[in-house]
Structure 1
Amino acid sequence: MDIRKQIGEELLLFDGAMGTMLQKYGMKAGQNPEALNLEDPELLSRIHREYVEAGAQFITTNTFGANAYKLQETGYSVTEVITAAVEIAKAATAGTGAKVALDIGPVGKMMKPIGLLDFDQAYDYFREQVTIGAAAGADLILIETMSDLGEMRAAVLAAKENCDLPIFATMTFTEDGNTLTGTEPEIMALSLDALGVDALGVNCSLGPKELIPIIKRILAFTNTSVMVQANAGIPVTEAGVAKYNVVSKAYLEVAKELAGLGVSVIGGCCGTTPEYIRDLQQAKASFAKREINKLKRYVCSAQKKVCLDGQITLIGERINPSGNKALKEQFVAGNPLAAIKVAFEQVQKGADVLDVNTSLPMIDETDYMTKIIDGMSGLVEAPLQFDSTKPEVLEVALRRYSGVAIVNSVNGKESSMAEIYPIVQKYGAFVVALCLDEAGIPDDADGRTKVAQKLIDRAAEYGIAAERLLVDCLVLTAAAQQKAVMETLKALRWVKENTQALTTLGLSNVSYGLPFRALINRTYFAMALTSGLDTVIINPGADGIVDTMRAFNVLSGQDEGAIDYIDYNNKKAVVKSDGPKQENVVRSYREMLLEGDETGIMKATNALLKDNTPLAVVDDHIVPALDEVGKLYEQKNIFLPQLIRAAETAGKAFETIRAKLAAGNEKLESKGTIVMATVRGDIHDIGKNLAKVLLENYGYDVIDLGKDVPIEEVVAVAKQRQVKLVGLSALMTTTVTAMEDTITALREANLPVKVFVGGAVLTEKYAKAIGADYYCKDARAGVTVAEEVFSTM
């Protein structure tokens, strides 16, 4: 079976859950599943054979957690575990035609900015797994259960660059339709499509029926084959054992619907067994081959997408040290905060995309571009356009960036195309294509269109469709080359009418050297819009630019009913009436938290401490600001990266207050002490760590017992410290019974504690069934619980 040729031509069947089968056959709580490849290979072989006999065409290796970070406590090396796992699977499938998929799951540490894991570290973990697995004989790479788009991209690039095997990539989504870090299904599809994976989709997450709306959204945004491996519903407790509520026949009915929608690959995740796979073979008859349709063009960050085929796209140009002394000084000092502030300002003024120009001779441009990307990640939602004259800087930017970006720029010189096009193709980026070549900028429209056509033709040779080019016909200053201004518009119209490329202009050049530049800019902008301009690179705060764009959208029929135009001008009127009052207002704590402005919040805190008591600063400023941010999170206006960054920024305010108190031999009173632990047998502590960060920055003391914590230790510490609240976390289906046992032990010890629980395998109904007082669906919910518990003391 040639996997790449067969995918999309018929419904392909993966196997089901490994953890469920290991638990069925007696895997002990706390036992590392991947270690069994060496300790009990016959058990793994038995499970693989059962799935093959059930009809699975793809067998997944028992390597979900086989990375250097997760294996460090087992004493086994990654090479030992993965090699054994692949060999076991190959032997179990020998002579059957089934293929072996090397299973790769998350590292187990959160990526920056939520955690400490950076892109390069994640890449190295995955590269090791891929290299070993490919050498051992795996037939394809399966990257699954990812919740962070940045981590997924690191894994995909590690696979693409270290083997030539097909790559299947699936992420996990919550009930609100986003990943844990706020990535929508559409953005996942756009980003993975750009990297050229062979199949993309969803695994784990929810039951099969609940995944249908998410799958439909993905299918509408990609022409890549789509894969689904759902859970067998939501687990319920029976006699202390987690059981799933979707039986194989019910799972099959949803699988038939998914196959009819055009899903190409189906298997099972938590709770599914060989019985499910055996039944899934009946879904093959329902498979409907998808038609490949032309999709709209989008750029995106990990949390926001912008359609380039819709209304005019405004690309903010102000993150550029040229001509900006203050920004240049911050660039030289290596401080990305100034650029982040400019980014927020431009978004507030209407920018859809942000151009990031780091071209400055006296800095390490690669290092600074990395700092800006890391600093903006999770804070600035607008997609980015990377602007540099150095190919190596553009490569690093596209590599680390979670989303689909624009490169600024390539030109018609052979050397430029040879340097830039391979990078653009590799990362699936869009690119600004300048109509100049070795002969310079042509004087007339005909000369520029010839360069434009050359750029389009050469892009095709690199596998880049014309649809990914933003052709810039180059506007020169009207003060010096007045006739050329109209030639630019002629060339722009030709590109729009005769090619599939998009159009753009660095518009402010037209007014250089003339008085009343704003008038020239907005007038030429209107002329360009009527000539077919798709995107514009300009300062969004420039007088009249956004106004002209909004008016054009009405007059051209793009803003149907003038709804956006009226809403925009109503808001503008309100801002204008309040303008004088706003000039001297210090930025609110909330704004500083959302921007991650640690320096600003420390200065503001020190200023408030001159006239207020430390407790008043906490109660009247820090906590209310955190509450406002929390409400934005609950309303899904921001997502986990912003929430955690806000909490960490608030932590700097608390540090400032503690330092002030320490100078006077005083101490900030704790709002309460909480014991937290990941239960016995569970080695995952991501959720617990996120909750801990939030609770600590709300003023609570957290005693973190770590992961795989014995029941006796939880009880002993709770008793010794006389705490009123205990938090328990479990991610694995095999350890939920340990959570129930821990709660039971706390009750039997007659401790006056409340217990809150959280984890991917839990529901509110399940939490109540095991005796918990509170169920926390996310890290933020822990703060609400703590406030309720300690307010009644």
Structure 2
Amino acid sequence: MDLHKLTDERIVFLDGAMGTMLQRKGLKAGESPESWNLVHQDKIIEVHKEYIEAGSDIVNTNTFGGNTLKLKEYNLQDKLEEINGKAVEAAKKARDFFKRDVFISGSIGPTGEFVKPVGNISFDEMYEIYYRQVKALGNAGADLINFETMVDIGELRIAVLAAKDAVKIPIFANLTFNEDGRTLTGSDVFSAFNILEGLGVDFIGTNCGMGPDEMGRMINGINQLIDTKIVVQANAGIPKLIDGKTVFTCSPHDYVKQLEKIVEEGVNIIGGCCGTTPEFIKMVKEKFKDSLPKKIRQEKKSRIKLSSTTGTFMISRETPFCKIGEKINPSALKKIADDIRLESQSNMKETARKQEEAGAHVLDINLGLGGSDETKSFQRVIPEMSSFTKLPLCIDTTDPKALEEALRLYPGRALINSISAEKERMEKILPLMKKYGAYAVFLPLDEKGIPETAEERIKVIKKVLNEAEKYGLGKERFLVDALVMTVSANPKLAKVSVETIRLAYEELGLLSTCGLSNISFGLPGRNAVNASFLSMLMGAGLDSAILNPEDELLSIMIDAGNVLYERDIHAISYIKKYQQVKNFFKDNQGAQTANTVLQEQKKVKNETLEDKIYAAVVEGSKEEITGLLAEGIKKYNAQELLNRFMIPAITYVGDLYDKKVYYLPQLMLSAETMKKGTEYLEPYLKQETRKFIATIIIATVKGDIHDIGKNIVSIMLENNGFKVIDLGKDVSKEIVLEKALEHKADIICLSALMTTTMVEMGHFKEYMKAQRKEIPLMIGGAVVNQDYAASIGAYFSKDAVEAVERAKQIIGSINKKG
């Protein structure tokens, strides 16, 4: 039985929650569910049988936490292959009871760690963790791999790459989104799904975090943008704690009702997550067994979908002209060359920021410098730059080895600059495009050189498209380059470039780009020549250009061109941008352009030493902070550096996070920079007797081994002037109170990720009362909310930034009383 054929014919049904069912069968809080594959396999078989009987076509193995890091929490890492093998065996035994086909899905969850530079695990370490578990499940006979409840697209992307290398079976890739439609690390639905589609996963979906009603609203319209089959596994509503027990609010009947909109939109596989049971799956199948699945379009539209982890820019005939920033290039700026030689990134980040503020949609990254190792340069720059900027990246290199390393490490969906029709170049680049989901700029030249006419260039283009088809790459994966040459050397070639763009779209439906500044090389007044030529190219159908986005004349030309060529319908964007700028065109002065206004509004000053310390924290420049503080300590004492520059900077970062300008990766980079700076100042602070706002004890409750959120809160509190005693995870109420009294804590912070462990917070509050101690308690975590906090008499914070503000409020109220 072929899963793809089956999902072409009808909607296929997954099972529901494994954890919910195991809890009913006696699984205790803090006990490893995966250990039951060894000691209670009969119970696992029972769960699978109940779901198959209810109508599940696919059952998930009991291996969600079966990776090395998760098993290590229970000292079971050496039994990984046995645990995963026994889980598949249990599913097979259950399947054997029924006379119909059932797929066995190898369930894999997140590691609970972040990849560098946000976390401490390298790409290769994360890859090996997933490769080992996928291989174990594949060797045991799993029919497919199902990555579930992933919160970081970077981690999921590595997991998918590992899986594709380890096995040749279908891959499901599921992310969990928050109510704002973004993952924990800030990825929106479209960008995340686009990145996964590029990797060639078989099914893309979302699970956990919300009920079907909320999930339906979140993925509404995604089928217009994504051509991969869709999986949906919603929770049974939002959990509530009633009489000390976790209760999911959505009944099977309501669950089915809420799924109707999702099915109407188009879905291929439906299952359940937390709180769902065989009863849910039975009713879902009865309702939708005859419903039509999502149909996949065979004809692909001409659109280039470039994604960072937090945003996507689409190049098409209907979207605004794409500005690809050209300035991160050692041949363009000496300071970029200096960064490469010094293994620094401060100038690159500043250049990236300025281009982004000037309106660039994509950033071209060129690190080719004589005497340097380009591959190692990309290894340093790509992880940092992808966390620093929200813009997608264009990898600009002629070295296939450096290109592969950059594509491997980039967590988004990149543009390659560039590929040509030379046989050796195609053989090296086309497989990389396929493996990493990249798009490419295509130069219409081959071993014979640059064709002199547009018609000859079209012939070369067709040659590449034919070769690309062998790799399953369609024309929608390419931007044809106009091959802009210096007009002062050969005036005729300018017209050839314009005609190449026109024919490429009219005859082949190809989108296009160019290296604009080449046209004016060697001429005075280059920006005027560039702008005039851009106008000609846009008239011929040019869709994007690699250019200087800070060139004000070019920006005006592009904004006006978007109106004239139906890329800005009703001039909505044009009017919004320019109506606020007075006397914009008065006497051809240009006054102060909208771009300049925007830069002034957003600019973080970076002129004096004090500005640079502040900017280093805001921009997350870990490699710069200690050197800056070494200079600063000659002028200020350590407490002044903290209070006057660093704490205001991290407070500003918190504001950016609240406003959704920054997401978790940027918050973490700034927090780590702050932490590194504070550690540098620590010896000086001890001499000066450092002053803390208050002392806080923080821990994850007993039975809960998740600590990502708790660690982020800990760092942010510490960076904002609190003394934090972190007790770690799975900490008993007795130890928490004991340490709080020992350190004379002003606040106790508790975290929980699971509904089964959330109750420990209430138990702690009762225990503290029984001991006749009263210390303010602040709680948080994925499953915790304001209602629960109020029910146990605790303060609540939804995230790390709010935790800082809430802690300050608590201390402020204590001081008032005192």
Q: Shorter-chain-normalised TM-score: which range?
A: over 0.9
Matched, 1:735 2:742: no
Of 469-478 and 93-102, deviating more is 93-102
1:718 matched residue in structure 2: 740
Aligned-partner SS, 2:519: helix
Specify whether residues 742 and 576 from structure 1 end up closer, same or farther in structure 2 by C-alpha distance, changes over 3 A only. Answer: closer
2:359 matched residue in structure 1: 350
| Structure 1 contact 56–277 (Cα < 8 Å) conserved | yes
Gaps of 5+ in 1: none
CA offsets, 1:449-495, max 9 Å, x none? 21122122222222111111111131111111111121111111110
| Matches for 1:42-191 after TM superposition, within 5 Å | 42-76=42-76, 77-94=79-96, 95=98, 96-191=100-195
Counterpart residue type for residue 384 of structure 1: L
Of 651-660 and 266-275, deviating more is 651-660
Q: How far is 1:84 from its partner?
A: 0.8
Matched, 1:316 2:318: no
| Structure 2 contact 307–412 (Cα < 8 Å) conserved | yes
| Matches for 1:127-526 after TM superposition, within 5 Å | 127-285=131-289, 287-293=291-297, 294=300, 296-309=303-316, 310-526=319-535
- Mapped to 1, the partners of 2:600 and 2:163 lie a distance apart of 56
Q: How far is 1:363 from its partner?
A: 2.2
Aligned-residue CA RMSD (Å): 2.2
Aligned-partner SS, 2:489: coil
- Mapped to 2, the partners of 1:211 and 1:190 lie a distance apart of 18
Counterpart residue type for residue 335 of structure 1: S
CA offsets, 1:62-120, max 9 Å, x none? 10011111112434321111011111111111244211100000012122333212322
CA offsets, 1:298-345, max 9 Å, x none? 111000110101121111111112253332232122223332222112
Q: How far is 1:255 from its partner?
A: 2.3
Counterpart residue type for residue 492 of structure 2: K
| Structure 1 contact 598–649 (Cα < 8 Å) conserved | yes
Aligned-partner SS, 2:154: helix
Q: Could you tell me which of 691, 694, 699 is aligned with 2:721?
A: 699
Aligned-partner SS, 2:114: coil
Q: Could you tell me which of 669, 674, 683 is aligned with 2:696?
A: 674
CA offsets, 1:342-397, max 9 Å, x none? 21121122211011112234222222112111111322011001111122222222
Aligned-partner SS, 2:546: strand
Aligned-partner SS, 1:737: helix
2:4 matched residue in structure 1: 4
Q: Could you tell me which of 622, 642, 666 is aligned with 2:646?
A: 622
- Mapped to 1, the partners of 2:478 and 2:533 lie a distance apart of 22
Specify whether residues 566 and 656 from structure 1 end up closer, same or farther in structure 2 by C-alpha distance, changes over 3 A only. Answer: farther
Q: How far is 1:611 from its partner?
A: 6.0
Specify whether residues 619 and 326 from structure 1 end up closer, same or farther in structure 2 by C-alpha distance, changes over 3 A only. Answer: closer
Counterpart residue type for residue 549 of structure 1: I
| Structure 2 contact 516–545 (Cα < 8 Å) conserved | yes
Specify whether residues 263 and 688 from structure 1 end up closer, same or farther in structure 2 by C-alpha distance, changes over 3 A only. Answer: same
Of 159-168 and 616-625, deviating more is 616-625
Aligned-partner SS, 2:320: coil
- Mapped to 2, the partners of 1:82 and 1:585 lie a distance apart of 56
Q: How far is 1:693 from its partner?
A: 1.2
CA offsets, 1:499-548, max 9 Å, x none? 12211111111111222222211111111111111110122223522121
1:654 matched residue in structure 2: 678
2:801 matched residue in structure 1: 780
Q: How far is 1:275 from its partner?
A: 1.2
Q: How far is 1:429 from its partner?
A: 1.2
Q: How far is 1:645 from its partner?
A: 1.4
- Mapped to 1, the partners of 2:68 and 2:169 lie a distance apart of 22
- Mapped to 2, the partners of 1:351 and 1:747 lie a distance apart of 57
- Mapped to 2, the partners of 1:299 and 1:733 lie a distance apart of 38
Gaps of 5+ in 2: 582-591
Of 232-241 and 182-191, deviating more is 232-241
| Structure 2 contact 20–274 (Cα < 8 Å) conserved | yes
Aligned-partner SS, 2:247: strand
Of 545-554 and 316-325, deviating more is 316-325
Aligned-partner SS, 2:688: coil
| Structure 2 contact 205–231 (Cα < 8 Å) conserved | yes
Q: How far is 1:674 from its partner?
A: 0.9
- Mapped to 2, the partners of 1:200 and 1:712 lie a distance apart of 44
Q: How far is 1:619 from its partner?
A: 3.6
| Structure 2 contact 562–568 (Cα < 8 Å) conserved | yes
- Mapped to 2, the partners of 1:575 and 1:171 lie a distance apart of 36
Q: How far is 1:576 from its partner?
A: 5.8
Counterpart residue type for residue 594 of structure 1: V
- Mapped to 2, the partners of 1:703 and 1:3 lie a distance apart of 51
Q: Percent identity?
A: 38
Q: Could you tell me which of 616, 625, 628 is aligned with 1:592?
A: 616
- Mapped to 2, the partners of 1:137 and 1:661 lie a distance apart of 59
Q: How far is 1:588 from its partner?
A: 6.7
Aligned-partner SS, 1:377: helix
| Structure 2 contact 606–612 (Cα < 8 Å) conserved | no
CA offsets, 1:697-756, max 9 Å, x none? 111111111111122111211122221211111112222222321222122222221111
Specify whether residues 260 and 31 from structure 1 end up closer, same or farther in structure 2 by C-alpha distance, changes over 3 A only. Answer: same
- Mapped to 2, the partners of 1:579 and 1:519 lie a distance apart of 23
- Mapped to 2, the partners of 1:449 and 1:502 lie a distance apart of 13
- Mapped to 2, the partners of 1:84 and 1:408 lie a distance apart of 47
Of 130-139 and 106-115, deviating more is 106-115
Q: Tell me the matched-pair count.
A: 790
Q: How far is 1:574 from its partner?
A: 7.1
Aligned-partner SS, 1:544: helix
- Mapped to 1, the partners of 2:596 and 2:631 lie a distance apart of 29
| Structure 1 contact 344–380 (Cα < 8 Å) conserved | yes
- Mapped to 2, the partners of 1:578 and 1:647 lie a distance apart of 26
- Mapped to 2, the partners of 1:334 and 1:620 lie a distance apart of 29
Q: How far is 1:606 from its partner?
A: 6.0
Counterpart residue type for residue 64 of structure 2: F
Q: How far is 1:148 from its partner?
A: 0.3
Counterpart residue type for residue 520 of structure 1: V
- Mapped to 2, the partners of 1:562 and 1:446 lie a distance apart of 35
- Mapped to 2, the partners of 1:749 and 1:79 lie a distance apart of 46
Specify whether residues 575 and 383 from structure 1 end up closer, same or farther in structure 2 by C-alpha distance, changes over 3 A only. Answer: closer
Aligned-partner SS, 2:284: helix
- Mapped to 1, the partners of 2:388 and 2:793 lie a distance apart of 34
- Mapped to 2, the partners of 1:226 and 1:316 lie a distance apart of 34
Matched, 1:34 2:8: no
| Structure 1 contact 314–538 (Cα < 8 Å) conserved | yes
| Structure 2 contact 359–595 (Cα < 8 Å) conserved | no
| Structure 1 contact 19–270 (Cα < 8 Å) conserved | yes
| Matches for 1:538-577 after TM superposition, within 5 Å | 538-542=547-551, 544-569=553-578, 570=580, 572-573=592-593
CA offsets, 1:560-594, max 9 Å, x none? 34343344344644776899999995447664333
| Structure 1 contact 359–388 (Cα < 8 Å) conserved | yes
